[in-house]
Structure 1
Amino acid sequence: MKNIYIYPAIFSYANDYDDDDDISVEFFNLDGVFTFGTTPKEAHYKAKNCLESYLYKMGKHGETIPTPPKKSDIKLKKNQAIEMIIVNMRLIRDEMHKTVV
């Protein structure tokens, strides 16, 4: 089982005409995996947490984890940027398997 995963996340920033200042985050080839943050730091943190949870759940159910797309395969809109999200699933699996004494 692989431990380190690096996925590109698409960060969508609010438009000038948008009253909502949140930064939405989605993963190009992971259906239904998205989150948001009110600052870039918070959006990155939530994206990492979201990716960890998704990959953990897939691994737990024995599902095949999709290969991360190349950054060059992702077409961005004007208000979007790509940020690479790195997760160490070994740490997550160890944390999830701890027992409370």
Structure 2
Amino acid sequence: MAKYFNNKDLKRINRFSLSYMYPVIFDYNNDGILVFFPDLPGVFTYGHDEEHSFFNAREALGLHLFGLEQDQESIPLPSRLYEIKLKSNQATSLVDVDMSLIRNQAKSLIY
């Protein structure tokens, strides 16, 4: 069962300086790297190399979490790296995102 941040705890945090860090899985194949977050079903991206994959992962993470915030949905707690089971063609890492940057970019597009 997924664990979620407590809404009371989130209200006490200055949401404009909040950052998140989630484990990401890089699935290596012949034509690039598929990127997904085990704690965030449906959040996928892709990159032709690791640098591109990390950049896209940070962007996908930020946009997805921004959407959850805007919809006032629960935000899952990140798994611990040692809990993640990998296949032989996969690697895991942590990706962080500064939500103040995402929020500012989204506001400039919306308004």
TM-score between both structures, scaled by the size of structure 1: 0.86
The correspondence for 1:21, drawn from 18, 31, 36, is 31
Select the structure that is richer in helix.
2
SS in 2 for 1:98: helix
Counterpart of 1:6 in structure 2 is 21
The correspondence for 1:92, drawn from 77, 102, 105, is 102
- One-letter amino acid of the counterpart of residue 4, structure 1: S
CA deviation string 1:51-92 (max 9, x = no partner):
011000000010111001100110011111012101011221
- Provide the rounded CA distance (Å) in 2 between the counterparts of 1:8 and 1:67: 10
- Provide the rounded CA distance (Å) in 2 between the counterparts of 1:58 and 1:87: 14
- Provide the rounded CA distance (Å) in 2 between the counterparts of 1:8 and 1:44: 12
- One-letter amino acid of the counterpart of residue 54, structure 1: H
Counterpart of 2:81 in structure 1 is 71
Counterpart of 1:48 in structure 2 is 58
- Quickly say closer, same or farther: Cα 1:100–1:7, change in 2 above 3 A: closer
Shift of 1:10: 0.2
Q: Give yes or no for the alignment of 1:32 onto 2:47.
A: no
Counterpart of 1:62 in structure 2 is 72
Q: In the comparison of the two structures, how many residue pairs are matched? A: 96
CA deviation string 1:13-55 (max 9, x = no partner):
11xxxxx421001101111001111111111111111101100
Shift of 1:95: 2.4
> Which runs of 5 or more structure 2 residues have no equivalent in the other structure?
1-9
- Provide the rounded CA distance (Å) in 2 between the counterparts of 1:24 and 1:57: 22
- Provide the rounded CA distance (Å) in 1 between the counterparts of 2:43 and 2:110: 29
Counterpart of 1:17 in structure 2 is none
